[in-house]
Structure 1
Amino acid sequence: MLAVPFPSNADTITVCDITHLSIIQLQGPQAKAFLQGQLTCNVMTLAEQQWCWGAHCDPTGKMNSAFRLYQDNDETLMLILPTTLIEHQIAQLQKYAVFHQVTITQAPFNLIGLIGTDLLPWLQQQGLHASQPGLYSLPQDEAYVLIDNPHQALLITLSKTQPSWLPEPSTRQPGYLWQQQDILQAYPYFEAAHVQKFIPQMLNLHAINGISFDKGCYIGQETIARLKYRGGLKRALYVLAGSATQPVAIGDQVAWQLETGLKKVGEVLQVVQHEQVCILTCVMNNTLAADATFKLVADELSHLTVQARPYTIPT
């Protein structure tokens, strides 16, 4: 069984206050059309009670951010992304928004993570008629529930008043418990240190329906399409887990353990650590053997192995 920094209690629902993620709101009669020409995902096919992964790139195809996207209504869409990217991402979108009827702001909503083996039945007990991943409205609570998978959901509260069925804030858990789940799912989040460093396929967005290859033009499309149709993708996002005797930080170097020494292969994108147990994401060469072992360059006693992703990478 995989050792994680914070093992979950299978018999309870864990409720987390999330501050490491924030929301960008795009609002206006041209919001949807504007984003269609900006993002890797197909915004025009996004329906109510749906959400998807996506990315926004620079003209060379390098990512400004990866995010969860959902539609509030025909004129309001939301991007959920790391808080460290909010200022940069708003500025990048505003560069292209000057000729569109759309406003771009950071939304003042609260994010609360819900984790548990019996999450869906528990949500149904709270009055949410949800049986599968999707976006569900709780109008009586001025909130949405974005169900990511059967064991993980985001509660998005639109007002300071929170649903009465939530536990008191003093009993909630920190957001890194939710971040640990995102890492286990091999999701493509990264922080400000890695802005414009990766093409979306390097973070596996094509494997989680975060790229549409038939939607038409958008920023960075030429590079992304060339990588698909001409080949040449040599890197992918991996999940590594194991032990570390020193604090692990975003940007730390990861190395492949060879008989002759260490070979640097990537940097830490996301990490959760407790004592000497850590789990992280890293972009590495996609031909590395599944049983390869790794170390953190700054921690000689560290030991990391590759963990299985919950999805397959298209060939």
Structure 2
Amino acid sequence: MSLTDLYTAAGARLDAAGHVTDFGDANGELAALETTTVVTPLPQYTLIRFTGEESQSFLNGQLSSDVRIVGETDAQYSSYSTPKGRMQASFLVLRDGEDYLLQIASDLQPAVQKRLSMFILRSNTRASESGWQAFGVAGPGAAERVQAATGGLPTSPMQVWHGENVKVIALEGARYELLVPDEAAHPLWQALLAAGCRPVGPAVWTLTEIRAGSPWVTQATYEEFVPQMANLELIGGVSFKKGCYPGQEIVARTQYLGKLKRRALRFHVEAAAQSGQDVYSPEMNGQASGKVMLAAPAPQGGSEVLVVVQTASLEHGLHLGAVDGPKLAPLPLPYSLEAEPA
């Protein structure tokens, strides 16, 4: 039985690309996040593998984070930018022995992998798409059920536990990502269901990313934001102490020469929303004040969104799609915007 057949047997509905959309009760799955442990396939992400003894030095010269401090049990957020500092991708970086794995939005993987490969030149490293699958586990009891299914667990957020044919990444908000080779995905999925996890669609995981303030760049927001606009430095995704990388001068100038004018903030809106939509405020004279970075259906209806927005517009009110569009209601983030870089 294929993995898709396994999902279908659990009640999955598929989109035109054959990816899971939900398991038959989209609204109930969103609500279940509050009361039970949920598990979802994560087709929205892909892994790029870097192999070769110079992988660390190459990646450290391309990404915004200090890749040199990523140990065998560490996970780290990072980004890749244009020379003007605009993010072309954001990543979750971890190790697989001597190799480096970069989790990236699936719709960006081919172009970004190709672009990074253009700069390898004589470096002893090689980029390839990993054939691994990813599952997300969240909700009450997540830690206990992940441990029951895998036999281990990281001890703190942004740490990785390496088991036999599985890597468990602990994320903020008592969430876990499980990475497995294709051949191990079938038994792991069954073990998670046997441990008591409820299968849900990927939109539920996107909702947890929004609530965690995780700034994932997708095709809809390609080259839209400098890392700090998306709060990346607050979650360890930017180093201000290492050497040069594309966009480093702009990123440093943004950090040290004046107050940031844009930040990623969380809102609820009584409408369907999607990444890349503009957000407006009355004082901007018809110009957009911000852009939706991530969007997911909310359990109570409407959408929760992570929006990169002009902070000066907050007092005037923000509206989705037009100045007279649905109003955005502020929601909290789990970290302070005034915190020192992680």
Question: Does the alignment reach a TM-score above 0.5?
Answer: yes
Q: Does structure 1 residue 277 correspond to structure 2 residue 302?
A: yes
Mapped to 1, the partners of 2:173 and 2:220 lie a distance apart of 31
* Corresponding residue for residue 264 of structure 2: 237
Which ranges of structure 1 fall in alignment gaps of 5 or more residues? none
2:191 aligned to which of 165, 171, 176 = 165
Local SS of the residue matching 1:114: strand
Listed as ranges, the gaps of 5+ residues in structure 2 are: 1-26
In structure 1, how many angstroms separate the alpha carbons of the residues matched to 2:236 and 2:198?
36
**Higher helix proportion:** 2
What is the correspondence of 1:1-315 to structure 2 with a 5 Å cutoff? Answer: 6-74=30-98, 76-126=99-149, 127-133=151-157, 134-139=159-164, 142-162=165-185, 163=188, 164-167=190-193, 172-244=199-271, 247-256=272-281, 264-273=288-297, 276-289=301-314, 293-297=317-321, 302-313=326-337, 314=339
Counterpart of 2:92, as a letter, is: R
1:9 Cα shift?
4.3
Change (3 A) 1:211 1:249: same
Counterpart amino acid of residue 181 in structure 2: L
- What percent of counterpart residues are identical? 22
Number of residues of Structure 1 aligned to a counterpart in Structure 2: 305
- With the length of structure 2 as denominator, give the TM-score of the two structures: 0.81
The Cα shift of 1:257 comes to 5.7
- Distance in 2, Cα, partners of 1:89 & 1:228: 25
Conserved 8 A contact 2:173-2:212: no
Query: 1:220, CA displacement in angstroms?
Result: 1.3
CA contact (8 A) 1:123 1:130 kept: no
Letter in 1 for 2:64: T
Q: Which amino acid in structure 1 is aligned with residue 174 of structure 2? A: H
Q: Structure 2: which amino acid aligns with 1:32?
A: Q
How many angstroms does 1:282 deviate by? 1.3
Q: Distance in 1 between matches of 2:267 and 2:217?
A: 15
What is the CA deviation profile of residues 102-150 of structure 1, one whole-angstrom value per residue up to 9, with x for unaligned ones?
Answer: 11122111011101222223333342143322111111xx010111125
1:217-248 CA-to-partner distances (Å, cap 9, x unmatched) read 1121111111112225211111111311xx42
CA deviation after TM superposition for structure 1 residue 7, in Å: 2.4
Q: State the 1:249 CA deviation.
A: 2.8
Give me the CA root mean square deviation: 2.7
Deviating 4+ runs (over 3 angstroms): 8-11, 260-264, 298-301
For each residue in 1:18-66, what CA deviation from the matched residue of structure 2 results, as whole angstroms up to 9, or x when unmatched?
Answer: 1111111111111111001011111111111110110111112111111
* Structure 1 residues 218 and 152: CA distance shift in structure 2, 3 A: same
User: What one-letter code is carried by the residue in structure 1 that aligns with 2:292?
Assistant: V
Q: Name the SS for the 1:180 alignment partner.
A: helix
